[in-house]
Amino acid sequence: MSAPGGFSRYLLSKQSVDDRALNKEVVAALKANLPVGPISVIEAGAGIGTMLLRMLRWNLVTEATYILIDELEENIHFGLSYLPVWAAENGFSVDRIDLETWMIEDETRAVTARYVHANVFDYLANHASPADLLVANAFLDLVPLPATLPDLLSLTKNLAWLTLNFDGMSILEPAIEDALDRKIEQLYHKTMDLRPGGGDSQTGRKLFGYLAGAGLEILSAGASDWVVYPQAGGYPDEEAYFLNFILGFYRESLADHPDLDASAFVHWLGARRDQIARGELVYIAHQIDFLVRRS
């Protein structure tokens, strides 16, 4: 399989970052509360399927049907190619059921994974059967809340694992220029609040109230910060690519911003990329995970 590019490679590159970040107390609560026996899972904004692979690696599922919904065709296409390669490399037998569906098995686990190319809200309009578990990873801070929460939660009849919800703090160290660093952070977060499709730079903290207002019981919650830092003069796995892609988000969001000096911003981006190349940049993003149950 050829190496991915663009957004699919970004999703691959952040697997190790997410592995560290996901709150382990929330993961333990998920494992303790999952139903015994076969379960059904729906993941909203599933990307290329890394959460499914993580749930297999962490032994969170043994027998399941897992529906992965994503609206980017690039993600679906790469996920369908990557899943069987990963499965074979990790000791699973893998059989294709149809164009969108794989069966993954080993001695103790059997999961049917089906990719669905759709906007999750379009999927909601045409599919009425909820799952035992809803997964939404790095997703809720991209949609209008709380308005869409009841519809999204209709995808589960029991549990929802809602992870990596951004919560208003981005840190890049060492500093380039304190005042400029603060301004770029503030403007970047503001672009999250003004996305045409919805989103909020303080989704994490607000979810406590939103979830309670929707009648959900919060079984567990905790910080899930991205913390990326150099080790032995470089970055592990694909985390240098991850950091450069994050800077790409800054560039796309703030290019030609009327409140930001263009030349200063270009210099800032260049200086940050140089820090990555030298193995110096530390990046922290504050996020919050939740496990909730329908009352």
In a domain, 74, yes or no: yes
For residue 3, pLDDT over 60 is answered with no
- Angle at Cα 98 formed by Cα 124 and Cα 137, nearest 5°? 40
- Structural domain contains residue 10: yes
Task: Say yes or no to pLDDT of 2 above 50.
Answer: no
CB atoms within 10 A of CB 108: 8
Each residue of 106-135: pLDDT tens digit? 999 999 999 999 999 999 888 768 999 999
Residue 148 in any domain: the answer is yes
Residue 198 confidence (pLDDT) above 90: no
Q: Are the C-beta atoms of 227 and 21 separated by less than 8 Å? A: yes
Domain assignment present for 71: yes
The whole-number average pLDDT for the span 151-173 is 96
> From CA 283, how far away is CA 266, in angstroms rounded?
19
The region of weakest confidence among 13-17, 118-122, 172-176, 265-269 is 118-122
CA distance 273 to 261: 19
What is the pLDDT at residue 225? Answer: 98
277 is a domain residue: no
Kindly indicate the confidence band of residue 1, based on its pLDDT and cuts at 50, 70 and 90. Answer: very low
The count of structural domains within the chain is: 1
pLDDT at 125: 86
Question: Is pLDDT at 5 greater than 80 in this prediction?
Answer: no
Q: Which of these ranges, 3-17, 191-205, 207-221, has the smallest mean pLDDT? A: 3-17
Looking at residue 79, its pLDDT comes to: 95
The rounded distance, in Å, linking the Cα atoms of 51 and 79 is: 11
The overall average pLDDT reported for the chain is 95
Banded pLDDT at 152 (limits 50, 70, 90): very high
Query: Stretch 96-112: mean pLDDT, rounded?
Result: 94
pLDDT of amino acid 201: 96
What is the pLDDT confidence band of residue 233, given thresholds at 50, 70 and 90? confident
C-alpha dihedral, 250 to 253 to 254 to 255, nearest 10°: 100
Residue 276 — very low, low, confident or very high, per pLDDT cuts 50/70/90? Answer: very high
Instruction: Reply yes or no on whether the pLDDT at 246 is more than 80.
Output: yes
* Domain CATH for 290: 3.40.50.150
Q: What is the pLDDT of residues 20-51, one digit of tens each?
A: 999 999 999 999 999 988 999 999 999 999 99
- The span from the CA of 72 to the CA of 130, in Å, is 22
Element (H or E) spanning 124, and its range? helix 120-126
Could you tell me if residue 260 is inside a domain? no
Two structure tokens written together for 2 = 């050829």
Domain residues for the domain of 76 are 6-168+198-226+285-294
- Tell me the mean pLDDT in the region 198-203: 93
Which of these, 219, 193, 211, 222, lies nearest to 146 by C-alpha position? 211
- Cβ of 171: how many Cβ atoms within 10 Å? 14
191 assigned to some structural domain:
no
To the nearest whole percent, how much of the chain has pLDDT over 70? Answer: 98
Please check whether residue 152 lies inside any domain of the structure.
yes
126-139 burial, b for 16+ CB within 10 Å, e for fewer?
eeeebbbbbbbbbb
